[in-house]
Structure formats: C-alpha cells, structure tokens
Structure 1
Amino acid sequence: MNPLRDRGLLHPVALGGALCVVVIGFGLFALDRADKAFPPPLEAASQMSREVLDRDGRLLRAYTASNGVWRLPVRLDEVDPDYIKMLLAYEDRRFRSHHGVDPVALVRAAFQFVSNGGRIVSGGSTISMQLARLIEPRSQRSLTSKLRQMARALQLERRLSKDQILSLYLTLAPYGGNLEGVRAASLAWFGREPKKLSLSQAALLVALPQSPESRRPDRRHDEARMARDRVLGRMRDAGLIPASEIARASAAAVPSRRLGMPDLAAHLADLAIRTHPQTDTVRLTVDGAIQGRLEHLASETAARLGPKQSLAMVLADGRTGELLASVGSPGHLDAARSGAIDMTRAVRSPGSTLKPFIYGLAFEDAIVAAETLIDDTPADFAGYRPRNFDLDYMGEISIRQALQFSLNVPAVRLLEAVGPQRLLARLRRGGIKLQLPPGGAPGLAIGLGGAGVSLRDLVQLYTAFVNDGVALQLGDGTEIEPVSHFEHPVIQAQAGWRVADILSGVEAPQGAPRIPIAYKTGTSYGYRDAWAIGFDGRYVLGVWVGRPDASPVPGLSGIATAAPLLFEAFVRTGLDRVDFPPAPYGLIEPSRGELPFALRKYKAGDETATASAGGALPPRIVYPPQGARVALGSGGSGRMMPLVIKLQGGVAPYRLIANGLPMPKPTRRRVLNWNPDSAGASTLTVMDAEGRAASVSVFIDTN
C-alpha cells in the first residue's frame, strides 16, 4: 500500500488543485516582477509649465513646458466638482470601483460595435486606461496597444490613488493645439480657472479630449458645439441634470477664439524664473487684482502719450516692505516703446524727488521750522547757480511753501547747510546708493537730480515716511536670500512726520481725483523724466514717465504728466486709504510769531551777520569749517578722541546740537568738546542764549 495515496495526497483532484495554486502563484510572482521591471513611465507626466503666482496663489504668468505645450498642474479641489461628476458620468461611471479595467464597459463597447456594423458607439476605456495612453502615447491603435493600455492601467492603480489618477488625467488630457490639462483649456477657451464653470463650459471640456483637433472651438466651431450638446444630451438622458438647465446650457455660445494665457507682471515674473531655475512654481508678493488694474491703466495712458514714450509704476506696503504691484512698461511686447525694458529698475535722474530728505535733515538739525522764512532769490553757490523750474523766483517764502512749490534755490540753500555727503549717507541707510557721474564728487546738484536712482529705489526710500523714519527694503518674492531690514532711520521720526505733513498739503493736479495723499513730483534736466511719488498712512506708490532711451520729451513734467497718473493709479488700486498718523508725542508746530528769533528767518553761514539788540554778533563756528573732513584717532582707549569746536560771537551760555540731538548741559565756554558715536557725516549746530544758531556739516574719519 502507498501511504501517500492512503492519505489522499496523490489523488488526481488534489494534484490538480496544487498545480493550479503553483501556477497561479508563479504567475502572480512573474507579473509582480514584470511590473517592477517595466513600471509605467510616470516621469513623462512630470514636465509641467512653470508658473508665477501672486500672493494669494492666483496665476500671474505661465511658461510652456520644454516640449512647447501648456501643461499646468491641477489639484482636484481646484476644479469645479460638477464638472468632475459630469466627466465621470460620461467617461467612466464605475471609476471609483474598478481596478483600472472595467469589464462591463468593455463588453458593452464590443456589443455596440458589432450590433452597429463595426461603428464605434462608445469606448470601453476607463480613465485609468486613458491616462496610460497619455503617459505612453502610440501612433497606431491596435489590439496590442489596447492590451498594453490595460496592463498599464492596472499598474497605475497599484501605485496611485483614485484621486491621483484623476488629477493626472486632468493635467495631461489634450484640449486642442498645444493645450494639455483642464486648467490650460479653461484659461484658453474661457479666460478663467476651472474652479467654477458653467454647465455649458463643463460639457465642452468633457467633450474636447475625445477628439481635440476635430473639435477645436476656434477652428471647428460647429463640431465643438455639437460635441458639447452630445454630452449635455447624455446627462439629460441619464437624468443627472434637469431638462430646463440642459436647454439653457445648449443655448449658450461656444467660444470661437482662443484667449491668451495670463500675462501679468511680466518683468517681475521673468526675473523670478531666472533666479529660481529649479523651481516650477514661484509665488510673489504681488496682488494679481491690483497688478491687472494698474497694467490696464498703463495701457490706457500709453495710448495718450507720444510715440516711444514709456511709463512705470511701483506700489509697496510701507509697513511690511512687500511689493504689491510692479508695472515695468505699458506692454513688455511693445517694441516701439522698448517694452522689454523694466523701467522700474532703470537708473534715471530723480529730479526734485529727493528734496523731502533734504528738508528732513534740516528739521533734524533744528536750523529751520515749517514756518521759517527762507529766500527764494537768485544765488551763487561757488559757481553753481540753480534756477527754479519756471525760471521765476518768489522772494521770501516759508519752508512749508518752498517744499510744496518744489523751489530749487531754497532746497540748495538747505543742502549746503546739511551737506551733500550727509544726505548720501542717510540715503544709504535706506539701502540706496545714488549713482554719481563718473569721477564726480557729490555736490549740491544731487538735490535737484544730479545723480541716478531707480523708481523702485525711490519707493523704497519713501517707505520711511510711513514707518517712523525707517525705510524698509522692498521684497517681491524673487529674492534668493531673505529680505533684510535696516537698523537706522533715514530721517528721525519727528522730522519725517513734518515732511509728510507738508507734502500732504500739496494740492492735487488739475482734473485728478481728490484723495488724501501726500506726494512729491520731479522733472529731470532736459525734460527726460517725469516722477511722482505719493503715500498715505501705509501705502507708497511711485510713477515714472519718459522715454527709455533718455531722449528729451518737450512738455514732459512731474506735475503735468506723472502726478495725474499717480492719483488715478491710487484710485485704481482699490485699496482703502489709510489715515496719516498723528504728530509724535511732544512735537509742537509753532506759528511764525512763536518761533525763536534764530528760526524766524533762515540765513546761511556765509551771509552777512547782523548784531543783536545788545550789540553782540550771532554765534559762528570757526572750527571745524564747513565741509571739513576731520580725522580723529582713538588714543589707545578704543574710543574716538573728542572733536574740538571753536566759536566766535553770540551770547553765552551756548548749547551744542549734534546730528539733531542737544547736548545735556549748556556751557559758557567758546571751546567745546564733542565725542562722536561713530564715523561718518555729521551736522553740528550751536545756539546761543538769544536763540541764534550757526551750523556746519563735517565728515568724521578715523586714522
């Protein structure tokens, strides 16, 4: 007897079952090894269009993928859920239940093919099989290619979730021409993201991938409409959508032309792509809605400007330093206006736009007040003879009016007092380095535009007026390194408030909207550049108008050309106006009659001194002289040696004011010692017992 047979182990049925188990197991093992050896080519789906997004994730600008197609990534939550329901109902009703291949759909498609004389009525491909065809396209349709799609579909189902498969399909499906994916299609045919679609739009997007070229709305409009209506009819017959809604959707127009992709902030977007070459999606600080409105305004304005003229605008949040909009030209493809040049970064003459910082330094040094009188008369500053823009002079005028009217001679008088070097040093605190003429030393001309600066830099400087005197470095999202913050103020908070208060009283240009902003205009020499920089309690907006080649434009000016655009741009932003802050604690703005004697009328150091009622001449600093560069050693102690200041005239006691800060105690001596905190430009003011003052600007250096 055979023990194995007695135990039933050699029974034919048992042997057959065991053999089946072995064969099935070997087959599954072989399929698993083949699946791992020949995975689906998902890397083909990784080539996407690069995107530049705004602060809220909205598309500003996109770039075609390396193969020249528009293929924008999409998540399911970014697509209208009603469209997804319609797609699955039309293409793959059992998508959520099958494993890549739907036998029921295959049998139905085969039966319809035979019963209709070899005509395809409906396909048996699932969404997974269609995705397999998209990632591994084949030119010929055959039984072999269909079987390969089925195998790939099974592979995809093993690796990806249903939502991942559906998301990939919505990213790769063709929609005509070089459009791939539902986002690119929705933007090109409807000008909107697919987050919310009408019933007609959703039906068209369901129909297009089946035969994208023969149904292209811009080339085969009737075929596209009929394909859309077939989808709508299927939804009606299935009872998924009421007949009344189907009728309305069928009456809706089908687009007859393809729209351009979003193309906002082109200069900034190009920079973002260059500085982040390995990143597919870059998010900027720009507000897409504001950017679009300002670009539209730029196009409108360009149509009114002369040929070859351009313009630029920069809007920043002065409290955070974030760039909210940047218009580099009226159109980056407008070759006649050199639109490819980003004029927000072009270095140009700033005209009078730096004057507020000159006045701010003068307020710091207590050499003038808002109601101090100053002469606006012809003057000669060692051969430099500035003239006003209108070639006229106003005579004796207040500091407030001199700044509001942007008079040149008073500004140069004050710049001579505070010193050009010190002005440059303060601008550097705001991260700005003026571009001086080759080999040129900083002189009084920089106060009237005799240096170079960009619109973006000017807006950055003006953030000091809404941030307690501290400028903020502008950030836009293109930076590789984090944006840094400046430690030292461009101007002291009280001086900055005084300047802002004066500029807020400048009347709006004729015909411009009446909105509560402070602003300053500028016109460069030869009518080459027109500027207007404005701000409220938070936002700073700058405008430049001119020709990119720096050619003169007769009649161009800041007040007539740039200022109206500034006011209109502020309105177009749609931002709520932010009130100016109240005066800093302890700040008093006296009337002219309440001013100390020395502040009632400004007199430069070289003007003829007059004796006081008691016969004493006003104080005068005889050392160090105006503009001196003084080297102070440390004397081995690690601290700089004191600077000796020598006086003549005046009535004791005297009080020294260094860089706007008064020394704690007055003195009766005419030789004073001052210990500077650091090297650099400084302004020294001495005031006597009768309130008369004298000032010099010096540069402290170390050995």
Structure 2
Amino acid sequence: MIRHAVLAATCAMALFAGAHDGLNRWTQDAVLPPLLHETSVEVRARGGELLRAFPVEDGRWRLATRIADVDPTYIEALLAYEDKRFFQHRGVDARALIRASWQALWNGRIVSGGSTLTMQVARLLENGRTGSWSGKLRQMQLALALEQRLSKEEILTLYLTHAPFGGNLEGVRAASYAYFGKGPKRLTPAQIALLVTLPQAPEARRPDRGARVAQAARDAALERLEEAGVFHSEATSAARRTAVSSSLKPFPATAFHTTERARLEQPEQAQILLTLDAGLQNRLESLAASHLNRLEPNVTIALMVADHTSGEILASVGSAAEIDDTARKAYIDMTRATRSPGSALKPLVYAMAFDLGLAHPETLIKDAPVRFGTYTPSNFDGQFRGEIKLREALQLSLNIPVVSLLERIGPERFMQRLERAGLQPQLQGSKAGLAVGLGGVGLSLHDLVTLYASFAQHGRAVTLSQYAPQPTSGQRVTASAAAWQVGEILSSAPLENAQLNHGIAFKTGTSYGYRDNWALGYDGRYVVGVWVGRADGTPMQQAFARSTAAPLLAQVFQYVAPQIAPLAPPPPETLIVSNAQLPQPLQRFETRDALKRADASRPDIVFPPSGARLAADPELPLILKLRGGTPPYAVFANGEIKALGLHSREASLGPMTQGFFELSVVDAEGRATRASIEIR
C-alpha cells in the first residue's frame, strides 16, 4: 500500500516538474482507445420505458447511460465520494494525489484515493492496469487527453456507462436493473450508497455473492456521504436499516415476442422505439396469465390491441405463458402464427354481400339444407331455422346462410378482398372453395385485427405497425355503408363481462375441432383481438370462443380505456328500412341455382324494381328489363298495353308521365309478374 502511495505522489510531482509545453506535447501524443464501446440493444415503449434489453456480444449488460437517465442525487453522491473537484481539474487532480499519498504514508494504509473520475474512465476504456509506473502514467496521459477532447458531461457519461458493478454488469443502469429491478431515475439513499461504492471492488462487494460485505461497504459509504452533506442523519439511519438483497433481479422482458421481432427487423439500431403502451402491455400480460388456470392444460392465450385511427399497435401478447414453458410452446408468437379463423371471417362475407347489392341486413334468407355441387354445409348445432333475416343469421353465426352468400359473391373475389385489406391468407390447395367463408383459409391474429380495423375505419384498409404510424393505402375493402351495417349488427349482440349496452362490435369464431377460439372487436377508436388455443394445433375439449375468448375480449376493453368510444354514425347513403320497404329483389335472397330455376319458370321485372321512384324525362324512354319466363311477353302499364309478342328481355315503354304505375308482364305460359313504381 505504501508503495502505491509513493508511486502516486511521484507521478503527481512529475506532472508539474516538466515544462508546460512538454506536458502539452505529451498529452497531444496520446492515442485514445475507442470511446464508443458496444452497448446493449434497447427496445423501448412509446413513452420511453424500457421493454427489453439485450446483452452485448460477450454476454455483458452494458446499457448506454446519459446523465439525465440517473437520479441527480446519485450524481451528487458519486462526485462527493469519488472526485470532489471533478469540474475544476483537467483530468488529473495533483492536490488529491499528493494528499492521498501523504495520508497513506502517515497512516500506513490508503485512506483516500487520488484517482479522478477521468482517470478511471481512461482505465475502463483501455482496460489498463494501475499498479505500475507505466500504467499510472499512461492513465494520466489518457485522462489529460480526454479532458482536452471531451466535455465534462461526456466524460461523466462514459463513466456512467462503463463503470464495473460486478459480474457481467457495466454501467449504473445495468446495475440498478440487476440489483433493484428498476432504472436509476429514482433511487433511495441506501441504493445510491451501494451503487457509489460497488465500482471500488465490484467482485468483492457483489450483493449476490456476499450481501454482508456489500452492506458493510454501503454503510461506510453512507457515513462518508452524510459527512459530505449529501444525506442528512435521518436518511442515513433509515438507509442502514434496509437490508441488501442477495438475489439478482431479471432484466425487463416485457412484450418478449414483439421486442424479439423488432431486434431482428432493425439489426443496426441500438435504440428501437415501439408504439406499445408499456402500462397497457404489462396489464394485459398479467390479465392473460391469470386466465391460464381457467383453461385446459397446455392451452395459451394471445392478445392484440391497436388504435385503428392511426394503425399503432398498443399491446401485443404472443403467449400468456412464461417464455420457458415448453409444454405450452410459449416461445411461439401466436399473434403471427397461421391458424384457421373459423367464423371470424363471416362479417366480411356479409359486408361484401351488402356492398355488392346482393343483400341487406333486413333481407330474408333460407336456413335450410342446401347442396353446392358435392359440398353440403351444415350449421354448428345441426339445426335449421327456416327463413331468417341476415342480421340474425350473422349474430347467430349460422353457416348455411354465409355459404349461400359466398356462392353468389365468389370465393376468388372474397380472397381478393382479404388481400386488399392487407391480409396474407394461406390456402392449402391452389384454389379457394366455399369453405373459406367458414375458416378454410389460414390467417393470423394480426391479420384478423387488421381486417376488423378496416370495418372500424368505414371499410378502408388500415396498416397496423409496431413502429411509428405508417401511411395507409386507403384502399377500399368494403363500402362505408356496408362496413357500418356490419358494425351495427355485431354491436347489438350481448357480450359477457361487458355492460348491457356495451357498444363493442364483436364476433367470435371457433375453428374445426375446437383448435382455435377467437374474439375480435372494435369501438370508435380501438380494435382488439383474442386467440385461445394450443400452440401445437391439437384440439381442445369442446372449448367455445363465446365462453373463453369473448369474456376476455370484454375485459381487455376495460383495461384499454375507461369508457367505450362510440361507433361512427351511419353514412348518409345507408339504407335503413324494414324488409317490407326494401326493393323486391332485396326482400329475399336466392342462391345462384335458385335464380337459374326462377329464370326457367316465371318472368321477373329486373328494372325498374318494385318501389322505385324515377325522375320524369320527356325525352328519355323508360327501358323495361326482364328475366325468366318464356317469350313472347305481353307488357302492360296501368292496364294499358305497351308491348305484345315481345321476344327480347328488354323493351322501351317510351317517355312516362308523372304518376304511379303498375307494370305487368305476362309470358307465353300465362305466368305474370308485377312492379309498382312512381314517376315524379
């Protein structure tokens, strides 16, 4: 120890024994080591909270640390403990070196150190030794050079990032997370004292290896910091009564799957900012985990929440289980896994039927046995309800009506709409069949949340992103009125765990064999998706989405916002009438085969449809369009003959005067049809 003191004193005197110009030349000749050591990749939430950090290549935790990241009292304590004249000296504090040397000579042991923070930074950057003449001189030379080329704040930042705190921990932020389970922004006096003293002997004082030694060093530091005026006596007394924990805390690993994907997608970024809301993410991870004990063995849960007005993903839970739960395969991100959506796709079929003018929510449709070639769909419960309104068929999630609608729409056109919405559907075969409307296509939870976001956004495609809001294509998925009609139907169904008039447009889905339970829903601002199932795709035991996923969906909305945002009002062009007020072709829906049979039987007036109101124009004739029946036809208007022996399915009735008209058509077999119209 005495040898070190003499060495320090000799170095201090040597600094000032030489000429000033020589000292400058010696300092300028210094070759600085790299100042930018690799730091841990950090993924942060929208508010800047640390979601997850990744160790550097050699397994060390080295988190980049700014002065603003640390409790100001820690900075005050650090300078009081390590380098009182940090902001006055130029890298080497000759007074401190001489004082430390004479104290050591007088006491026979080292009482105080003479190394400045800048000298410590020099040693850390170069990983150099200080127990020799050459090592100490090299450290001084680098310290002087650092002071010439960097500001005091930059030097302090280097110390905060590189100081050793035991094991693979470097920097005060890494130490704070490991020893206290939090960042160093707000620290107690006991925590500050421990962090101040650890770098002096990082291995000997590691709390996880020797809590007694660490506590003794901390208490000694508390005494010195009280003498320096950093803490008052009451604070230090309370701090001494706080035990030092011997267990290391895990580093943050919130949103495990999302942060993992972010690191892979942005490998060059050291700081990655996501749109996730840290508080919401943590609450939903806890909520999902708490539901696991209500489910069958090895079943897990995935959740997603997005703001459909901006496309920002606010929360994403890839698996509710702990990441090391191999039985539940928690390492698989089930928000991106391709699964069968079951009935969750039905709203798009209905929206397309409304959009294409094939049907209306009040249209009647037959829920009865039907065959399409070799395909014979059936309802989940095996029952048939006869003639039923489309709104009720959607709320009851009946299979036969939706397949009948899809047969008229066309499976290929349906698949094109999925892609237009930004989804990535996966088919087992090369061609889509009618089963796609019942879940016969692979989609992810991310896909389905994207689809329901388009319903919420008046039928326009929404690009969901975990990064900054992305510009959307604005492609039209469905007409605005059709999207509103679907939302109005879905928001009218009861939802367990929600208020009676909950205002959430939602749909559940259960795939074949109970493999997947889905619940998708949206209000005026947020869209939520829930998946329940086994990651390996094995069936559950009669688990229905309405009893597993739907109640959880309602709870997620309660976590997202204190109140449900109201859905948008109907667009002006929306037709809101009863079935009796609909145009005749929309009053009852017929399958393609039924229409063909109708074409071969009675005649039908396609235009103008019954109930139409047309503007009078003395120069333009009214064109009558027919289908079905057997020509020649006879056409009458209010009993007056307009055409006889008509073989074409179009006829000009000439300009029509204002008034009400009863149009009648009789075919060669004597079969008749009528339409009532108004010319005004």
- TM interval, short-chain normalised: 0.7 to 0.9
Asked if the contact 1:364–1:495 (Cα under 8 Å) also holds between the matched residues in 2, the reply is yes
Equivalent residue in structure 1 for 2:136, among 138, 146, 153: 146
Aligned to 2:560: 573
Aligned: 1:404 with 2:395: yes
Aligned: 1:594 with 2:577: no
Distance 1:29 1:75, change over 3 A: closer
Aligned to 2:604: 618
Aligned: 1:177 with 2:156: no
Aligned to 1:61: 52
Aligned to 1:42: 34
Q: Which amino acid aligns with 1:428?
A: E
Aligned: 1:524 with 2:514: no
Q: How well do the aligned residues superpose, as a CA RMSD in angstroms?
A: 2.9
TM-score by length of 2: 0.83
Asked if the contact 2:449–2:527 (Cα under 8 Å) also holds between the matched residues in 1, the reply is yes
Residue 306 of structure 2 aligns to a residue whose secondary structure is strand
Mapping of 1:187-206 within 5 angstroms? 187-206=177-196
Q: Which amino acid aligns with 1:690?
A: A
Alpha-carbon distance between aligned partners in 2 of 1:207 and 1:368, rounded to the nearest angstrom: 76
* Identity over aligned pairs, percent: 46
Equivalent residue in structure 2 for 1:542, among 522, 529, 540: 529
Asked if the contact 2:27–2:142 (Cα under 8 Å) also holds between the matched residues in 1, the reply is no
Q: Which amino acid aligns with 1:501?
A: E
Aligned: 1:227 with 2:217: yes
Aligned to 2:268: 278
Asked if the contact 1:312–1:544 (Cα under 8 Å) also holds between the matched residues in 2, the reply is yes
Distance 1:537 1:648, change over 3 A: same
Asked if the contact 1:462–1:471 (Cα under 8 Å) also holds between the matched residues in 2, the reply is no
Distance 1:110 1:382, change over 3 A: same
Post-superposition offset of 1:430: 0.8
Asked if the contact 1:610–1:617 (Cα under 8 Å) also holds between the matched residues in 2, the reply is no
Alpha-carbon distance between aligned partners in 1 of 2:157 and 2:309, rounded to the nearest angstrom: 40
Greater shift, 211-220 or 84-93, is seen at: 211-220
Alpha-carbon distance between aligned partners in 1 of 2:39 and 2:416, rounded to the nearest angstrom: 47
Post-superposition offset of 1:186: 1.1
Alpha-carbon distance between aligned partners in 1 of 2:70 and 2:20, rounded to the nearest angstrom: 42
Residue 166 of structure 1 aligns to a residue whose secondary structure is helix
Distance 1:213 1:573, change over 3 A: farther
Mapping of 1:4-43 within 5 angstroms? 24=19, 27-28=22-23, 30-31=25-26, 34-35=29-30, 39-43=31-35
Aligned to 1:690: 675
Post-superposition offset of 1:575: 6.2
Aligned: 1:446 with 2:426: no
How many residue pairs get aligned? The number is 607
Asked if the contact 1:267–1:332 (Cα under 8 Å) also holds between the matched residues in 2, the reply is no
Post-superposition offset of 1:391: 2.1
Mapping of 1:146-545 within 5 angstroms? 146-330=136-320, 331-439=322-430, 441-477=431-467, 483=470, 485-509=472-496, 511=497, 515-545=502-532
Aligned: 1:559 with 2:549: no
Asked if the contact 1:374–1:396 (Cα under 8 Å) also holds between the matched residues in 2, the reply is yes
Greater shift, 453-462 or 367-376, is seen at: 367-376
1:488-526 per-residue CA deviation (whole Å, 9 max, x = no partner) reads 2111100000100111111113x5676431111111111
1:279-330 per-residue CA deviation (whole Å, 9 max, x = no partner) reads 2122222222222222222322234333332321121111111211221122
1:36-72 per-residue CA deviation (whole Å, 9 max, x = no partner) reads xxx22134x4211111122222211111111211000
Residue 327 of structure 2 aligns to a residue whose secondary structure is helix
Alpha-carbon distance between aligned partners in 2 of 1:669 and 1:105, rounded to the nearest angstrom: 111
Alpha-carbon distance between aligned partners in 1 of 2:548 and 2:96, rounded to the nearest angstrom: 69
Asked if the contact 1:113–1:120 (Cα under 8 Å) also holds between the matched residues in 2, the reply is yes
TM-score by length of 1: 0.81
Residue 341 of structure 1 aligns to a residue whose secondary structure is coil
Alpha-carbon distance between aligned partners in 2 of 1:653 and 1:426, rounded to the nearest angstrom: 43
Asked if the contact 1:651–1:689 (Cα under 8 Å) also holds between the matched residues in 2, the reply is no
Asked if the contact 1:519–1:534 (Cα under 8 Å) also holds between the matched residues in 2, the reply is yes
Aligned to 1:71: 62
Distance 1:136 1:294, change over 3 A: same
Greater shift, 68-77 or 250-259, is seen at: 250-259
Residue 218 of structure 2 aligns to a residue whose secondary structure is helix
Q: Which amino acid aligns with 1:670?
A: R
Asked if the contact 2:461–2:474 (Cα under 8 Å) also holds between the matched residues in 1, the reply is no
Alpha-carbon distance between aligned partners in 1 of 2:177 and 2:424, rounded to the nearest angstrom: 43
Q: Which amino acid aligns with 1:477?
A: Y
Asked if the contact 1:597–1:691 (Cα under 8 Å) also holds between the matched residues in 2, the reply is no
Q: Which runs of 5+ in 1 are unaligned?
A: 1-22, 622-644, 655-667, 673-687, 693-703
Greater shift, 543-552 or 248-257, is seen at: 248-257
1:461-488 per-residue CA deviation (whole Å, 9 max, x = no partner) reads 111112111121212239xxx9452242
Alpha-carbon distance between aligned partners in 2 of 1:88 and 1:386, rounded to the nearest angstrom: 77
Asked if the contact 1:610–1:618 (Cα under 8 Å) also holds between the matched residues in 2, the reply is no
Distance 1:521 1:462, change over 3 A: same
Residue 197 of structure 2 aligns to a residue whose secondary structure is helix
1:54-101 per-residue CA deviation (whole Å, 9 max, x = no partner) reads 222221111111121100001111111111111111111110000011
Alpha-carbon distance between aligned partners in 2 of 1:109 and 1:59, rounded to the nearest angstrom: 41
Residue 335 of structure 1 aligns to a residue whose secondary structure is coil
Post-superposition offset of 1:568: 2.0
Q: Which amino acid aligns with 2:439?
A: G
Aligned: 1:670 with 2:649: yes
Alpha-carbon distance between aligned partners in 1 of 2:186 and 2:634, rounded to the nearest angstrom: 80
Q: Which amino acid aligns with 1:420?
A: P
Q: Which amino acid aligns with 1:357?
A: L
Alpha-carbon distance between aligned partners in 2 of 1:611 and 1:560, rounded to the nearest angstrom: 43
Alpha-carbon distance between aligned partners in 1 of 2:577 and 2:250, rounded to the nearest angstrom: 59
Alpha-carbon distance between aligned partners in 1 of 2:63 and 2:21, rounded to the nearest angstrom: 42
Residue 344 of structure 2 aligns to a residue whose secondary structure is coil
Q: Which runs of 5+ in 2 are unaligned?
A: 1-17, 608-624, 638-646, 652-672
Asked if the contact 1:596–1:691 (Cα under 8 Å) also holds between the matched residues in 2, the reply is no
Distance 1:268 1:465, change over 3 A: same
Alpha-carbon distance between aligned partners in 2 of 1:50 and 1:136, rounded to the nearest angstrom: 22
Residue 121 of structure 1 aligns to a residue whose secondary structure is coil
Q: Which amino acid aligns with 1:384?
A: Y
Equivalent residue in structure 1 for 2:114, among 103, 124, 128: 124
Alpha-carbon distance between aligned partners in 1 of 2:487 and 2:207, rounded to the nearest angstrom: 56
Greater shift, 71-80 or 193-202, is seen at: 193-202
Alpha-carbon distance between aligned partners in 1 of 2:190 and 2:27, rounded to the nearest angstrom: 44
1:203-228 per-residue CA deviation (whole Å, 9 max, x = no partner) reads 22112111122222222112222222
Residue 488 of structure 1 aligns to a residue whose secondary structure is coil
Alpha-carbon distance between aligned partners in 2 of 1:669 and 1:484, rounded to the nearest angstrom: 52
Post-superposition offset of 1:29: 6.5
Alpha-carbon distance between aligned partners in 2 of 1:593 and 1:647, rounded to the nearest angstrom: 22
Q: Which amino acid aligns with 1:27?
A: G
Alpha-carbon distance between aligned partners in 2 of 1:182 and 1:357, rounded to the nearest angstrom: 53
Distance 1:222 1:606, change over 3 A: same
Distance 1:237 1:28, change over 3 A: closer
Distance 1:611 1:335, change over 3 A: closer
Alpha-carbon distance between aligned partners in 1 of 2:110 and 2:297, rounded to the nearest angstrom: 60
